[in-house]
Structure 1
């Protein structure tokens, strides 16, 4: 199999220079397609030529999915040009991870063959009446002689009109309970048009190029063999499988902020105000530096979490909601901050900066799509006492391989994922050891702040009782879960800095000071500003990368 560097370089060349107005897969084409509520045909064709869906198929089934962090980095090349294009394709992963987790050998083979042939599989989980609460779904699969009879509605299905197969969550139990729902793998030829009515396309404000559809099913008969895994395990399978997508998809979306920051930088470096470039105005410099730091924080946390899926998969039930909560919130706030810097240019739907208004709309669903940020905290709450107690009792350094992109990883094993972590979280446990390292004075001060905050959090966790941790938990208790996610992100940033190669920007103390300072502001919105020297270092790195055509993320890859 061709290595990730070569594959990413090849994909970048196929998609071409996004700034070239003549490029049919560039920003101008993406904006024009968005006005039609579509994606650029040339970009879709380039992804098919590349065989993008093979990135979602495990190597054991003939695909290229050997490392989740590599898949994320490659998909950033797509999201960087058009987030709707990226989400439309990443939706195949949303469906497929359930097949890889629980499917029979025949089902896994069938799903792999579809994806390797550039075809699509859609995930039919959500119902508008129940939002993100998939365990409350009403779509039913009743046992009848010789199979199952399906009835009900499914809405907000990405790529339904293009799908060659569906993964459907259905109620198979007679009463509500943890084993009352099952997953089904249905190929399109089983969707009898006499029993399946397609709903009109759902329109959206953001991600307009993603084709959202729905269906009403009335008495569709299918054989028992469509069951995906054992009956009654549908929600458990989703809880385990979606740990991959709830980390990977927000991680891919950091490329949206990369582009938004680049557009803003281009605009402010060229615009003159008060006799100097707008980028030199203090308030603008601060916004650019803070946003750059935010992007690095998101990618550092995402890197550690996605690598942990293969190194420490038992932590997935903790890292998945934590990554979604932190990354989605930071991305949304950062794009809003940049929109104020863009000023009236933010609204333009023509010209070289027109892609910004599209990005400002496309970032909104990141906060609630797949799972809402509030639901992420609800998923963490029941695990919180065990996590805090174990971290307090058994602090231990996190393995270097969790943070270094060059370190090897074991094979992807989705069967190793668990619905709950049992209190095991290598990132949180590492916070009690970070002060043992030889840290520069400026870094040590901020690291100590995070270590003290985590110690206070662990003390608060000892008094938590099960009745306080339900879905209706009070705001102060939910804030404890939010503070836990901040601690994880801080541990990830400290680890990335510790393992960075000499001479790398990530090995410099300035970026880590910026990262820890920005993370402190998540708990205290009026947090401390970046020190002047730190801001200067960030701006120098940011403009230097821009001049050299490098991405603004951790890997600083060639942008085109």
Structure 2
């Protein structure tokens, strides 16, 4: 396997001949926010009016894409060694959240699809393949990936595209009904079957140039716009191959390596796409604030809002966003700090996506009431997010697929990892803090360790109990440790899931509970390692206690009462970030509008 570190000749250089230096993440976020502007302004080319007009017409939003072009967004998808700006998954997360806040379809269609496809090339491509794709992306091109397998509930291993040996390469036959961006892509990454069965060596991956494939043997198919509910304008094409000759040089890695390559690539794509989805909920919360006009909670500083009030709903939505983002940010930073463990964390954050964020948007819809049917302005974008967000959690990244990634590892974790492994480094819990260099070749399918869950008992052991909020935080933390202990006992008592046979429903329930325990560990870790000087709110135990209380409710733990001041403090922070526009996520970045 070739390594990206072997590339020594960047595609682009500055005038002085040295590699172009990327700005810091915060500087790049500020710049893209300024370029995208206030989304509520009607004349803004990347504003809500323009985005919704394109959605209704089921077309690509060209004005908004032109703004991203002016930023050089494609450079964010190309490694610095190849002349781009990609040096950290977390930096890409922060930059792309500015896009996803405005439109999930724009974020997926313009860029993340290209990045997901490019991951295969950065990971397994030859030096020539990498330079070719890097040059295309840096010149504004798009890449597509043919991976969805709609005929088999998106089980990518059961590919309907087959490659058989032919003169100088493969002969490819079959179809993929959904291939985002194919109509305008200069590169297509294709995952196809090259051997019978469903084992680890049945698939291969190819890097193709669609324009160079012979006509009559390759066809871009079209889907009626009426068939597309979410991500309209982007998920409108498919691919069909008929005895299409493909040269051997198109292979990404050896024949039969497609399953392993895909699973490693999923660790990056699942983590980032699921983490980016939090931006849609950020917009949903902001929209509900505009519509609901949440007021300061009660006459007393420590009086909580009525649990059925708009203020309480807004506070709970913010808490859900923070608890989800804690796991998302920790999983993203683990790509640098604990890359061999990210098969667990990427699947965990992606499986939690529909359980938390989609439910949160639907709860916020209750604040909007009948306004949910509005098709213009911020409320119209809220409705669009409701349609778009479920699409990003389908397929190989859906809940079932992520459970299937975690489930086989639970028994080994119960035997060798839980309450044994060393806890994760503090840097894993500090959003935006410096990170060591990212390297694709450090990713692994699994190594049987879980440092995030190991952080849970370590964090709980040091929790203070000086006031009611701290005492409840400690109590809930202890319950989470008990949950992990009970989880270990139950896993060890179950018959191991077989590779091909039926799986007991108990495994699915235990997997879901494990993901919630990981989220609790992430919340405690973020709070524990927060700096009161740089972000007093994250250092306040109120939000962490409220987040653990929400997790406890999902676990069926309902005998711990949350102090009233927790919701009050959280709601005040919601209003503060709304009035002086800042993101509602852990990064708390200033917004253009």
- Work out the CA distance in 2 between the residues paired with 1:199 and 1:374: 28
**Distance in structure 2 (CA, Å) of the matches to 1:241 and 1:352:** 34
- For the 8 Å contact 2:101–2:283, the answer to whether it is kept is yes
Cα deviation for residue 525 of structure 1 reads 9.0
Q: 1:517 aligns with which of 534, 539, 549?
A: 549
Task: Count matched residues.
Answer: 552
Q: Which residue of 2 aligns with 1:264?
A: 288
Task: Quickly say closer, same or farther: Cα 1:222–1:294, change in 2 above 3 A.
Answer: same
Match of 1:403 in 2: 429
Match for residue 27 of structure 2?
A: 6
Equivalent of 2:512, from 482, 485, 490? Answer: 482
Whole-angstrom CA distance in 2 between matches of 1:424 and 1:132 = 29
Aligned 8 A contact 1:241 1:414 in 2: no
Task: Give the Cα separation in 1 of the matches to 2:59 and 2:180.
Answer: 13
For 1:156, the equivalent position in structure 2 comes to 178
Aligned position for 1:87: 108
Matches within 5 A, 1:44-63: 44-63=65-84
State the match for 2:9 in structure 1: none
The aligned residue for residue 337 of structure 2 is 311
Q: Take 1:82 and 1:162, find their aligned partners in 2: how far apart are those partners?
A: 20
- Indicate conservation of the 8 Å contact 1:79/1:253, yes or no: yes
Contact residue 469 and residue 477 of structure 1 kept, 8 A: no
Name the residue aligned to 1:434: 459
Work out the CA distance in 2 between the residues paired with 1:467 and 1:452.
24
- Identify the range of structure 1 (175-184 vs 525-534) with the bigger mean alpha-carbon deviation: 525-534
Contact 1:294-1:515 within 8 A present in 2 as well: yes
Shift of 1:262: 0.3
Summarize the Cα distance change of 1:540–1:465 in structure 2 as closer, same or farther, 3 Å threshold: same
Note the 1:216-255 alignment, pairs <5 A. Answer: 216-255=240-279
Distance 1:525 1:191 in 2: 58
Q: Deviations over 1:427-450 (max 9, x none)?
A: 012223222213332210111111
The Cα of 1:233 is off from its aligned counterpart by 0.2
Match of 1:296 among 280, 298, 322: 322
Say which of 356, 369, 392 aligns to 1:343.
369
Using the TM superposition, give the Cα deviation of residue 398 of structure 1 relative to its aligned residue in structure 2, in angstroms. 1.8
Match of 2:441 among 390, 396, 415: 415
CA distance 1:518–1:270, change in 2 (3 Å): closer
Tell me whether 1:124 sits opposite 2:154 in the alignment: no
Instruction: State the secondary structure of the residue aligned to 1:94.
Output: helix
CA distance in 1, matches of 2:294, 2:516: 36
2:490 and 2:382 mapped to 1: Cα distance?
A: 42
Q: 1:27 aligned to 48, 71, 84, which one?
A: 48
Distance 1:18 1:472, change over 3 A: farther
Hey, what does 1:274 align to over in structure 2? none
Matched, 1:140 2:140: no
Can you list the C-alpha shifts for 1:497-542, whole angstroms capped at 9, x where unaligned? Answer: 1111114210001010011111122223978675421111111000
The answer for unaligned runs of 5 or more in structure 2 is 1-21, 296-304, 465-469
Deviations 1:283-302 (A, max 9, x none): 32221111100111111111
Please say which of residues 333-342 and 360-369 is displaced more in the overlay: 360-369
Contact residue 274 and residue 393 of structure 2 kept, 8 A: no
For the pair 1:70 / 2:91, whether they are aligned, the reply is yes
8 Å Cα contact 1:381-1:470 kept in structure 2: no
Cα shift at 1:41: 1.9
Q: Secondary structure at the match of 1:42?
A: helix
Confirm whether residue 358 of structure 1 aligns to residue 390 of structure 2.
no
Name whichever of 233-242 and 410-419 sits farther off: 410-419
> How far 1:351 moved relative to its partner?
4.8
In structure 2, C-alpha distance between the alignment counterparts of 1:185 and 1:131, rounded to whole Å: 24
Q: Compare 398-407 and 340-349 and name the one that shifted more.
A: 398-407
TM-score in terms of structure 2 length: 0.89
Unaligned residue ranges in structure 1 (runs of 5+): 272-278
Shift of 1:76: 0.3
Q: CA deviation at 1:474?
A: 2.6
**Cα distance change on mapping 1:529 and 1:43 into 2, 3 Å:** farther
- Conserved? CA contact 1:167–1:184, under 8 Å: yes
Equivalent of residue 474 in structure 2, options 416, 436, 444: 444
